[in-house]
Chain A
Amino acid sequence: MSDQKRFLDKDYTRRQFLKLSGKSLVGVAMSSAMLSTLGVTAGALAEDQVRVWAFPQGLLVVNADRCVGCQRCEINCTLTNDGCCSSYISRVKVTRNLYSSRNGNGLYTENNWTYFPDTCRQCEDPACGNACPMGAIVAGEDGIRRVDQDKCVGCGACVEACPWHMPTVNPVTNKSSKCVMCGACVEGCPSGALSIVPWDKITAAAQEV
């Protein structure tokens, strides 16, 4: 198999994006076909308004300009994973950015129209898992890191350690939870602010130079 062929291979494309996962895409050269597939503009990349995360199902793209603040990502996350409806314990977080976020954005700031969901970065070297004193955050066979509810003692070390504070200790169960890459947030996003581009489409776009 030639290097050229391997670059176009579905799994290899995913590995390329794993390296970019969660990182700034500023300075990354993308073909117009790839930009179109991701649903973003070169300008948005240059302005650091787009982040991508490598999921098993495809590439998760967060487009801040498209977020309309409906919170359906949090709703679908908690209905799917927690059997209830909540913002605070959601694994994807938009409400904390809606009113007045730590970055000076939100409806009650001067940047009124800047709000968007924060998603788990699925870090290669996970601060949450590294900080857990119980070793409760471990990757399964599918590579997805989950919080082992039996081991978790709700100490909150993972919340503090995560630079984006994405894990949350549920105040009712006193157990932490983090994104398990189920895709419910994306499936229910009505504006396409969150989208998962399947790997075969990424591969196809990569072939169009």
Chain B
Amino acid sequence: MSVKNGINGWAGSVLRVNLTTGAITTEDTLPKYKPYIGGMGLGYKVIWDEVPLDTDPLGPDAKVVFAVGPLTASGVPCSGRMNVSCLSCWSKGDSIVDAHMGGHIAHAFKYAGYDALIVEGQSDKPVYIKIDDEKVTIEDASEVWGKGTFETNATLTKANGDEFDVASIGQAGENLVPMSCMVTSFGNSGGGGVGAVLGSKKVKALVVRGTGAVKIARPLEVKLLSNYMIKDLVGGNNNHNVPTVPQTWAEYSATTKNRWQGAPGVTWDKAPNGPIDMGEQPSGVINVAALRCNKGVFDFGEIAEKYTVKQGGCSSCPVRCYTEYDMDPLADYDLPTHVSNTCIPITGQTGIYCEGTHDFVDEGDAKVILGGAGSRAQDDFGVWCNYGNLKTDFIRAYKDGILKEHMTEEEWNAVPWDLMKDGDPRWAVEFYRLIAEGKGAWGVIGKGSYYMYKEWGLDDATKNSAGKNYYDEVSGQNTNVTYNGYPKHHSSEDAWQSGLLYNVLYNRDCMIHHCTNFVRSGSPYEEVIKPVLESFFGEGCVDAPKAYTPINENKIKLAKWAFNGKQWHDSATLCNWMYPMTLSTSKKRGYKGDLDLDAKYMSAVVGEDYTRDSIDFDCERISNMLRAMTAISFKLRLDSSNLRKDHDAVPAWVFDKEPDFKAFEEGTVKMDRDDWEKSLDMFYEAMGWDKETGIPTRETLEKFDLGDMADKLAELGLIS
């Protein structure tokens, strides 16, 4: 119980469970890990110190680090995130990668007294790790091995007690399918292949109860700062700061459809005791904050209201982005009617019906009903969609005839294609079952884009019957942002060169929402977005929609802020969908947010003086750890000495799409190749990375006390 040890913010202990020996130990967090904050930073430090970067990601020497940070469960809004770090088993270079899990388990874990859990070794039989405050045990999981995540979570909560939360892997993880995740609460998941890594260790689940507390240096100040954030700063999901539908108190309504969909007449139709009208949600009022976001209406339109019971989400978050549905048409197919998810895992599901869909009860309801069935099936089998690439890879391979080529006639005929062709929601169950079983051609899709393209020659137009390069093809389906196996995640289409820069730096989709949040906020560009952003980052840091300009120093500043800021969120931990508070709902603030808020939180929680600069410095350390570890992985596994060429390269479609336009003409978001190369030059320089290779220099690494990483890079001949 953290409050016992007198430490503010951090729980104070790192837990280690060795599945090979059964040893369970703890160590103090702060002496070793304080410079790395927590979450992602802590996880990277553990992997760097303990896991050689050429380790088999699914072997006994690999480790998984679950970590929270000093702000997790501190009372700060949107601090219910848990970061999971491990070596990738699916992207180019198999380097360091993170999963980011919401729900409620991060709070339970912190209350149990831990900042991190290091899982190492391998069990020879299925187990789950049970954390009941200081009592930690490795328990037999044979009863739930082979079961879906929903049944597993229900069974393990029942077996251990009502106050235990659970996160579990599904059959995909058990079968070592790289496109796998773990699932907690209801549809909250951590992806990145972590399901397979845990499956390789025979770990089915994490079961947690925490009866302790997080000690806070200045608790009333934390409460007041939280109230200020909820009253004056935060809008809807992604901090979209003006309502879509005009409200009587609001100066503006959204210029484009945004994620503040709550409004008078927008209802939770299936609330048990009659529809709940979301009403108006004025800035300055706490008790309506959770009524701003109606993610269902954003995802599907007003048809979603019909099936909405309420809105859910993560611990401590006043903005609920998981609509909770009761979709009774699914009962006709003997499928569960309760579904909940958000964004791509629920909106992208109609895509797996390659021959089209049909509506069920009302016009236009196919997307919501099939979305619900698909998201539930995907979560149940513990399949990770790689931000949609899993589905688009399937669709492209199906339509191009590639999938059929790689199946025997017997395999092809065994697939219940009729369900797909009929638009039957049970197709989703069959589709994800096939992915989760990991056999034959389905197993190849389940390896993820990088290994799938490689195995089927889809990374070279001369090596497949479709004559396509799946990375470069200009097609609505292709969103690969590098040649490394993952798609864009709010990239140049939202945030010009800045967005593309931070999209290419990770070993998975970047998950950075810093820029899309203000770009798609719905605020008017000239009156709000441009002046507020330029007050932070200087003239020309932002472009108007589809009116891009060549790269400049202030766009580089913006990109660096977002890149380092993402590390902050995953280390603190805070939700990157919500933070930073760049904009505000408040007219009297001129809609300007508060980028110093995070430092104010830290000072109040920890009781030491933090500033935006001091936090940025710590986060830039983590950015350099990511970069150095990626360089080392690429050298060890691929004999690459150049991240600029081999990691950060951008596929042709980004530059060649919309052929009727030239880059920087009004009406297009396409990029220009020369301008992109210049952008990389400028960004590397701003980060202190070598311009030729994109690898951090010794001077940069030593500035962040990462001399040991510089030594390793030098030993491998990557830096001088």
Binding site for B on A (CB under 8 A): 40-41, 43-44, 47, 49, 64-72, 75-76, 78-80, 82-89, 95-96, 98-102, 106-110, 112-114, 171-172, 184, 187-192, 195
Q: Which residues of A contact B289 (CB under 8 A)?
A: 190-191
| 21 cross-chain CB contacts under 8 A | A40-B273, A49-B272, A65-B273, A65-B310, A68-B313, A70-B318, A72-B316, A80-B219, A84-B215, A85-B73, A85-B75, A87-B107, A89-B211, A95-B104, A100-B158, A112-B324, A187-B227, A188-B223, A189-B287, A190-B318, A192-B291
Q: Which residues of B contact A72 (CB under 8 A)?
A: 77, 316, 318
The reply on B419 being an interface residue by CB < 8 A is no
B107 and A71 contact, CB distance less than 8 A: yes
Q: Which residues of B contact A83 (CB under 8 A)?
A: 215-216, 219
A71 and B274 contact, CB distance less than 8 A: no
B186 and A107 contact, CB distance less than 8 A: yes
B164 and A99 contact, CB distance less than 8 A: yes
* CB nearest neighbor in A for B227: A188
Q: Which residues of A contact B213 (CB under 8 A)?
A: 78, 82, 84-86, 88-89, 172
* CB nearest neighbor in B for A48: B273
Q: Which residues of A contact B226 (CB under 8 A)?
A: 75, 188
Minimum CB–CB distance from B380 to chain A (whole Å) comes to: 13
A145–B229 CA distance with the chains assembled, in angstroms: 33
The reply on B55 being an interface residue by CB < 8 A is no
* CB nearest neighbor in B for A40: B273
Interface centre among A49, A88, A101, A109 (most CB of B within 10 A): A88
* CB nearest neighbor in B for A193: B290
* CB nearest neighbor in A for B270: A113
Binding site for A on B (CB under 8 A): 1, 3-4, 73-75, 77, 104, 107-108, 111, 133, 153-154, 157-158, 162-166, 185-186, 210-216, 219-220, 222-223, 226-227, 230, 268, 271-274, 276, 286-291, 309-320, 324, 326, 338, 340
B288 and A76 contact, CB distance less than 8 A: no
Q: Which residues of B contact A64 (CB under 8 A)?
A: 272
A96–B209 CA distance with the chains assembled, in angstroms: 10
A83–B287 CA distance with the chains assembled, in angstroms: 23
A188–B231 CA distance with the chains assembled, in angstroms: 10
Besides A68-B312, A68-B313, A101-B162, 18 more A-B contacts (Cβ < 8 Å) are A41-B274, A43-B274, A65-B268, A65-B272, A67-B310, A71-B107, A72-B77, A83-B216, A84-B219, A86-B214, A87-B107, A100-B158, A113-B338, A171-B1, A172-B3, A190-B288, A192-B287, A195-B287
- The 5 A-B pairs at the shortest CB distance, nearest first, are namely A86-B213, A44-B273, A190-B318, A191-B290, A88-B211
B163 and A95 contact, CB distance less than 8 A: yes
Residue from the list A68, A85, A100, A195 in contact with B162, Cβ < 8 A: A100
B271 and A65 contact, CB distance less than 8 A: yes
Residue from the list B75, B290, B315 in contact with A76, Cβ < 8 A: B75
Q: Which residues of A contact B164 (CB under 8 A)?
A: 99
Q: Which residues of B contact A67 (CB under 8 A)?
A: 310
Minimum CB–CB distance from A152 to chain B (whole Å) comes to: 18
B316 and A75 contact, CB distance less than 8 A: yes
Q: Which residues of B contact A43 (CB under 8 A)?
A: 273-274
Known: A85-B216, A112-B186, A172-B1. A71 touches B315 (CB 8 A): yes
Interface centre among B107, B215, B287, B288 (most CB of A within 10 A): B287
Residue from the list A41, A79, A96 in contact with B222, Cβ < 8 A: A79
A107–B375 CA distance with the chains assembled, in angstroms: 16
Q: Which residues of B contact A101 (CB under 8 A)?
A: 162
A99–B213 CA distance with the chains assembled, in angstroms: 19
B154 and A191 contact, CB distance less than 8 A: no
* CB nearest neighbor in B for A66: B276
A112 and B223 contact, CB distance less than 8 A: no
Minimum CB–CB distance from B581 to chain A (whole Å) comes to: 16
Q: Which residues of B contact A191 (CB under 8 A)?
A: 287-291, 311, 320
A172 and B4 contact, CB distance less than 8 A: yes
* CB nearest neighbor in B for A78: B213
A100–B211 CA distance with the chains assembled, in angstroms: 16
A71–B210 CA distance with the chains assembled, in angstroms: 14
* CB nearest neighbor in A for B72: A85
Known: A43-B274, A71-B316, A107-B186. A85 touches B214 (CB 8 A): yes
Known: A99-B162, A100-B154. A187 touches B286 (CB 8 A): yes
A188–B316 CA distance with the chains assembled, in angstroms: 11
* CB nearest neighbor in A for B320: A68
B212 and A86 contact, CB distance less than 8 A: yes
* CB nearest neighbor in B for A84: B213
* CB nearest neighbor in B for A93: B163
A112–B379 CA distance with the chains assembled, in angstroms: 15
A79 and B219 contact, CB distance less than 8 A: yes
B153 and A75 contact, CB distance less than 8 A: no
B272 and A68 contact, CB distance less than 8 A: no
A82–B310 CA distance with the chains assembled, in angstroms: 31
* CB nearest neighbor in A for B314: A70
* CB nearest neighbor in B for A102: B162
Residue from the list B185, B214, B276, B319 in contact with A65, Cβ < 8 A: B276
Residue from the list B4, B287, B312 in contact with A190, Cβ < 8 A: B287
A86 and B111 contact, CB distance less than 8 A: yes
A99–B208 CA distance with the chains assembled, in angstroms: 11
Minimum CB–CB distance from B319 to chain A (whole Å) comes to: 8
A66 and B310 contact, CB distance less than 8 A: yes
B230 and A190 contact, CB distance less than 8 A: yes
A44 and B214 contact, CB distance less than 8 A: no
Q: Which residues of A contact B74 (CB under 8 A)?
A: 85
* CB nearest neighbor in B for A89: B213
A190–B230 CA distance with the chains assembled, in angstroms: 8
B273 and A47 contact, CB distance less than 8 A: yes
Minimum CB–CB distance from A159 to chain B (whole Å) comes to: 13
Q: Which residues of B contact A187 (CB under 8 A)?
A: 227, 286
A44 and B286 contact, CB distance less than 8 A: no
Q: Which residues of A contact B163 (CB under 8 A)?
A: 88, 95-96, 99
A65–B211 CA distance with the chains assembled, in angstroms: 27
A79–B76 CA distance with the chains assembled, in angstroms: 10
Q: Which residues of B contact A109 (CB under 8 A)?
A: 154
Q: Which residues of A contact B319 (CB under 8 A)?
A: 190
A187–B289 CA distance with the chains assembled, in angstroms: 12
A50–B77 CA distance with the chains assembled, in angstroms: 27
A41–B318 CA distance with the chains assembled, in angstroms: 24
Residue from the list A44, A87, A100 in contact with B274, Cβ < 8 A: A44
Q: Which residues of A contact B316 (CB under 8 A)?
A: 70-72, 75
B290 and A113 contact, CB distance less than 8 A: no
* CB nearest neighbor in B for A80: B223
Minimum CB–CB distance from A182 to chain B (whole Å) comes to: 12
* CB nearest neighbor in A for B153: A108
Q: Which residues of B contact A71 (CB under 8 A)?
A: 104, 107, 315-316
Minimum CB–CB distance from B605 to chain A (whole Å) comes to: 9
A113 and B287 contact, CB distance less than 8 A: no
A65–B340 CA distance with the chains assembled, in angstroms: 16
Interface centre among A75, A102, A192 (most CB of B within 10 A): A75
A49–B73 CA distance with the chains assembled, in angstroms: 29
